[in-house]
A and B are shown apart, each in its own frame.
Chain A
Amino acid sequence: MFLIECPWCGPRDESEFDCGGEAHIERPADPAELSDEAWADYLFMRTNPKGRHRERWVHACGCRRWFNIERDTVSHRITAVYRMGRKPPGRR
């Protein structure tokens, strides 16, 4: 159980949130041009790092907004919270 800093509501308990999986997966511009393998990779394959991971979360029991967090999958330490559409802090 950890505290997540919702960008709108402030710090709230993890139980108020749902995780939406890995962040920053962009839909290919022209899916019809992709091979089945590349399309399957976009649809199903996700990284599973030990360490820093960027994820989408939604404040399901609060303001119901989506946002991104950067979390260490080992220590659960959250190193950044940033809104949808923004780049992860410290990276271009």
Chain B
Amino acid sequence: MAEAYLRQGVLDHLHLDARAVREPGEARVALCERRFVGKVSLRGRPTKRFLAAVGQALGFEPPVAANTAAGKGGRAALWLGPDEWLVVTPPGSAGETAEALRAALKLQHCAVTEISDGRAVIGLSGARAREVLMKGCPLDLHARAFKAGHCAQSTLAKALVILHQTSDQPAYDIYVERSFADYLWAWLEDAAAEYGPAIVQG
């Protein structure tokens, strides 16, 4: 990992902080980059023993229901497949989370990999956030079908993303592969233009 003072967010070259407003006010769409979010890839068959061990390490069990997320205390586990989760942690704590998972899953067939810097996280929220996503995502995002606590792997403007709805405001966290982040940010700003988007601090 880079020295702390050398670390840069994926979108720092866009100098979003210079354009950020303190209060999004009446903005119908707010965008931000969530910098340095910790991410750990967790793989393993969801046996009782596996789920219990992960629960012990994280403080909550990873969800086994498709397209859902569970979380507690700033950490979350996003269901990605029948034996795959993305564990999300606050900045700087992915390493210790991975260590805790490895210790709890000792002697079990599993894979725990820290992948924090592989993806950027873009936060999208506001009354018209759903409409912005609907311009480029094939998922059924209607409030009946996709709500707070749901997550899905899909495409947004043809970029592979993991979408996580964090609140019914609605607010979404969009996990996108690092090399697509600049492109996706530009697309999001363009798609949100008609709603007068506000850029906020992550």
Contacts and interface: CB of A to CB of B under 8 A. Distances in A.
Given A8-B66, A9-B66, A61-B160, A16 B82 contact: no
A12 B66 CA distance: 13
A73 interface: no
A16 B154 CA distance: 7
A15 B157 CA distance: 12
Contacts of A9: 66-67, 81, 152-153
A62 B138 contact: no
A13 interface: yes
Contacts of A64: 81
Nearest to A1: B138
Given A64-B81, A65-B81, A15 B155 contact: yes
A38 to B, nearest CB: 37
A63 B152 CA distance: 9
A90 interface: no
A29 B80 CA distance: 35
Nearest to B161: A61
A10 interface: yes
Contact of A63 (B139, B153, B155, B160): B153
Interface in A1-21: 8-13, 15-16
B84 A15 contact: no
Contacts of A62: 81, 152-154
Among B67, B140, B153, B155, the most chain A Cβ lie within 10 Å of the Cβ of B153
A19 B160 CA distance: 18
A8 B67 CA distance: 9
Interface in B131-150: 138-140
Interface in A60-81: 61-65
A63 B138 contact: no
B155 A16 contact: yes
Nearest to B162: A62
Contacts of B81: 8-9, 62-65
A1 to B, nearest CB: 9
Contact of B67 (A10, A13, A16, A65): A10
Given A12-B138, A15-B138, A61 B82 contact: no
B154 A63 contact: no
Nearest to B82: A8
Interface string B79-98: 01110100000000000000
Interface of B: 66-67, 80-82, 84, 138-140, 152-155, 160
Interface of A: 8-13, 15-16, 61-65
Given A8-B81, A9-B67, A64-B81, 17 more contacts: A8-B82, A9-B81, A9-B153, A10-B67, A12-B139, A12-B154, A13-B138, A13-B139, A15-B138, A16-B138, A16-B154, A16-B155, A61-B155, A61-B160, A62-B152, A62-B154, A65-B82
